[in-house]
Amino acid sequence: RFRSSAGTLADYLVSSRPIGFKGQECVLVMSTVITPLKEVQRTLRESEEKYRNILETMEEGYYEADLKGNMTFFNESLCRMHGYARDEMMHITYQNYTPHQEAERIYRIFNEVYRTGVPAKAVDYQVTRKDGSMVTLETSVSLRRNASGEPIGFRGISRDRTQQRKAEKALSESEEKYRNILETMEEGFWEVDLAGNFTFFNEPLCRMLGYPRDELMGMNNKSFSSP
């Protein structure tokens, strides 16, 4: 960096080599102003640092893989989800951490993305962590292309949905349990809105009133009771 007479700093690229001139040893020095290039480099470094910080602090896992499915780039969150250290995760393939049937399904999904170029979103799949425990991840997959537009790999975002899926399963089982109770008891159970229209009921109520379910839904008490 050199300071001009005006006091401003400028970046130069300087090279030199020895030469002979009129029987004397001299040095040929060449310099080029590269201030605009250095500014671009600084901006690029700041941009890379910004997005690197985002990738490393977000909860979601980000990954990039080659066309064979080998991991080539990922953030720390993805390592935590899979339970592997960064050096172990590098170049690992989905076949190493998914059960056989899941691996076949994931292959079909990635192959479809490669063939059509259309991203796949909210794909659930089971992952075996390094410690042997199972987790459910939800991932997106899109195609990576080079400057010529040729496919070179895949990228996507993964989220750990293990606890959410467990809660959804527990809720579904609970709903099924109480639905069975309602449908097998002798008494009729019903719910109506403030206008008196049926919004929910069980099968015994249908039998009591003699209406099929589709007719009884939305029916008002005025339709089957005397004034």
Query: pLDDT for 72-124, tens place per residue?
Result: 999 999 999 999 998 998 878 888 888 888 889 999 999 999 999 999 998 89
In the chain, the amino acid numbered 143 is L
- Residues 131-142 pLDDT 10s: 989 999 999 999
Q: Which band of pLDDT confidence, cut at 50, 70 and 90, is reported for residue 23?
A: confident
Q: Is the model's pLDDT at 170 over the cut of 90? A: no
**Residue range 140-147: mean pLDDT, rounded:** 94
Predicted local confidence at residue 98, as pLDDT: 87
- Give yes or no for residue 10 having a pLDDT over 80: yes
The distance of Cα 13 from the centroid of its chain, to the nearest Å, equals 43
Overall average pLDDT of the 193-198 stretch:
94
The mean pLDDT of 30-36, rounded to a whole number, is 91
Tokens of 13: 């690229």
For residue 159, give the nearest of 62, 60, 76 by alpha carbon: 60
The C-alpha atoms of residue 194 and residue 189 are separated, in whole angstroms, by 17
pLDDT at 172: 87
Per-residue pLDDT tens over the stretch 41-53? 888 888 888 878 8
Please state, rounded to an integer, the average pLDDT across all residues of the chain: 90
Spatial distance between the Cα atoms of 117 and 60, rounded to a whole number of angstroms: 23
Query: Which pLDDT value is given to residue 162?
Result: 86
Give the model's confidence band at 211: pLDDT under 50 very low, under 70 low, under 90 confident, else very high: very high
In sign, the C-alpha dihedral spanning 165, 169, 174, 180 is: positive
Q: Is the per-residue pLDDT at 17 higher than 90? A: yes
pTM for this entry: 0.60
- The span from the CA of 54 to the CA of 40, in Å, is 21
| C-alpha torsion angle, residues 62, 66, 72, 75 (rounded to 10) | 0
Average pLDDT over residues 65-76: 91
216: amino acid identity, one letter: L
Residue 174 has pLDDT above 90, yes or no: no
pLDDT at 64: 93
Least Cα distance to 98 among 137, 45, 152, 146 occurs for: 137
User: Could you tell me if 106 and 96 are in contact, meaning their C-beta atoms sit under 8 angstroms apart?
Assistant: no
Rounded Cα gap, residues 81 and 158, in angstroms: 9
Phi and psi angles of residue 196, each rounded to the nearest 5 degrees, phi first: 90, 15
Which contiguous run of DSSP H or E holds residue 143?
strand 134-145
Residue 216 is predicted with a pLDDT of 93
